[in-house]
Structure 1
Amino acid sequence: MDMPTDTENTYESKTVRAVRGLESRTIEKMESGGWEVVSQTPGRIQTEIMFRRPAPRSRRVLWIVGGGVFALALAVIFAIGIIGERDTDSAETASPPSSEKAAPSEQPSIEATVAAQAPQPEPNDVVLTPENSPELATVLALTDYCSPDIAAFAAAHRGQTISFPGSVGDIAPYEGASTRYLILLGAGDFSETSAPGPAFQFRDVNTTDDMRWGGSVPDTIVVGTNLSITAKVDRYEERSCLFLLEPVATSVR
């Protein structure tokens, strides 16, 4: 399929679907073939990525374009050389800096020094829950998992621990591994008709030690398993709308 973008260039386009969290791998593979990303449309499980690349053109046209670029580069280099010479001349004629010494700064008061040395509370020591954090409660109730409020929350609380009831929405192998997974998590009890809150994800984890199980360890976890999740905020990926977490403690509800 050809997709013209201007009067001189003609592009061919291609649409590829990638599992959420593996978009970069798909993009890298396509870019090695000369494709460039045009747009990404994230879904709950998969992301639809549109690529394009220039359609084949004659060698003569390519030679003309290459010659034009080369000439433009020469012109830019010549202009930079002239500007550099002017800057050098200006620097040589500039007046020498003043030799006056700045007045010594005043010594801080004892009270200010004591206040600066006083220990400050560490916000990361507090585990955020929907009960003690209205901000987290609001994020967990959002219906748009690409909401900018989620990005703001992740940035403000990166490295902090949160705890909430959640459920497994999807499990997929991580980069073809047999014991490493991408685990998509939702807020609250599992439902096939609704999925409130961010699209949380445990990335590149196994289902045993990495989950930090508390209590009895389940033989396996599947889509629909309800969990109590305590995890550290990693980051929010705006391109995929995934909210990455690092497991701290997990238990089956």
Structure 2
Amino acid sequence: MADEIRYEYKTVQTVRGTDGLVISKMQKDGWEFVEQSQGTLRSTLTFRRPKKPLPWPLIGAAATGLVILTVVIGTASALSDGDEKKDAAAKPAAAASEKPSATPTPTAAEPSAVEMITSENNSEFAALLKTADTCDDANADFATKYEGQTIAFNGSIVDMTPHGDYHTRYDFLLGPGDKGPNTTVGPAFKYEDVNVVELRLAGKEVPATVGVGDKFRFVAEVGDFNAVQCLLHLDPLSTETR
């Protein structure tokens, strides 16, 4: 049985009047003229020529390469499946542990909020409020241990002076108790360079102004201790009338 001839096809568009020249050139190159489609201005010419058979050595090499590639892929797949099965057999416990637990794992309790230091819950602060010497080492020890924490105490304004050249900013000297400028016990607490607004006045009757001798419930953050001036610095958080 004779082998069936396979053709490759090619179409060429030409301007009317040049069809003959194009057909002649294509035939010289081995193309056979098949048909012509006539348009208004252009013609479409169709040509064909037998496909050149692929040399047998190349066909054999391609087939051999395909067989080798198939074998390699099949071997790799088999090895991969084997490794996965080995891993699954070697790590059953790990796979089980990755499943979400039906019962939530207990977690550590959240730390409780830091308690405000008062004379009722802190013996060191209670003793400090009764010390007779504002330069006592207890002041420095307390400031070092509790700097940044919050204290609350009943006290009064011992002194109040403008800060530098300001007329609305002040340095306040505070003491525990109700004796104002006659206070003789406890640390020399100091608010430095603050205005009345920064005192954060609160209470049933909030005063428009404050002065020496006024009594409040002071809530403040502990600062550092100035050992030269014997002053324990505080930062105001709230000042409640009482």
Which TM class, normalised by the smaller chain length? Answer: 0.5 to 0.7
Deviation at 1:221, TM superposition (A): 1.1
Task: Percent identity, please.
Answer: 39
Look up the match of 1:211: 199
CA displacement, residues 61-95 of structure 1 (integer Å, 9 cap, x when unaligned): xxxxxxxxxxxxxxxxxxxxxxxxxxxxxxxxxxx
Select the residue among 107, 116, 122 that pairs with 1:127: 116
Cα distance in 2 for residues equivalent to 1:119 and 1:184: 41
Cα distance in 2 for residues equivalent to 1:244 and 1:120: 32
Cα distance in 1 for residues equivalent to 2:215 and 2:136: 24
Select the residue among 131, 134, 137 that pairs with 1:142: 131
Q: Which amino acid aligns with 1:217?
A: V
Look up the match of 2:231: 242
Task: State TM-score, norm by structure 2.
Answer: 0.53
Deviation at 1:234, TM superposition (A): 1.1
Cα distance in 2 for residues equivalent to 1:176 and 1:198: 27
Look up the match of 2:12: none
Tell whether the 8 Å contact from 1:154 to 1:234 is kept in structure 2 after alignment.
yes
Tell whether the 8 Å contact from 1:187 to 1:195 is kept in structure 2 after alignment.
no
CA displacement, residues 18-63 of structure 1 (integer Å, 9 cap, x when unaligned): xxxxxxxxxxxxxxxxxxxxxxxxxxxxxxxxxxxxxxxxxxxxxx
Report whether the alignment pairs 1:224 with 2:218: no
Structure 1 residues 178 and 158: alpha-carbon distance in aligned structure 2, compared to 1, 3 A threshold: same
Deviation at 1:119, TM superposition (A): 6.7
Tell whether the 8 Å contact from 2:158 to 2:213 is kept in structure 1 after alignment.
yes
Cα distance in 1 for residues equivalent to 2:184 and 2:196: 22
Runs of at least 4 residues off by over 6 Å: none
Look up the match of 1:165: 154
CA displacement, residues 102-122 of structure 1 (integer Å, 9 cap, x when unaligned): xxxxxxxxxxxxxxx957846
Deviation at 1:190, TM superposition (A): 1.5
Cα distance in 2 for residues equivalent to 1:192 and 1:163: 20
Q: Secondary structure at the match of 2:202?
A: coil
Q: Which amino acid aligns with 2:125?
A: L
Cα distance in 2 for residues equivalent to 1:136 and 1:176: 35
Look up the match of 2:43: none
Look up the match of 2:166: 177
Deviation at 1:217, TM superposition (A): 2.2
Tell whether the 8 Å contact from 2:143 to 2:225 is kept in structure 1 after alignment.
yes
Q: Which amino acid aligns with 1:213?
A: L
Structure 1 residues 198 and 120: alpha-carbon distance in aligned structure 2, compared to 1, 3 A threshold: farther
Structure 1 residues 175 and 236: alpha-carbon distance in aligned structure 2, compared to 1, 3 A threshold: same
Tell whether the 8 Å contact from 2:175 to 2:183 is kept in structure 1 after alignment.
no
Cα distance in 2 for residues equivalent to 1:218 and 1:181: 17
Which ranges in structure 1 are unaligned for 5 or more consecutive residues? 1-116
Q: Could you say which structure has the larger radius of gyration?
A: 2
Tell whether the 8 Å contact from 1:190 to 1:225 is kept in structure 2 after alignment.
no
Cα distance in 1 for residues equivalent to 2:156 and 2:139: 18
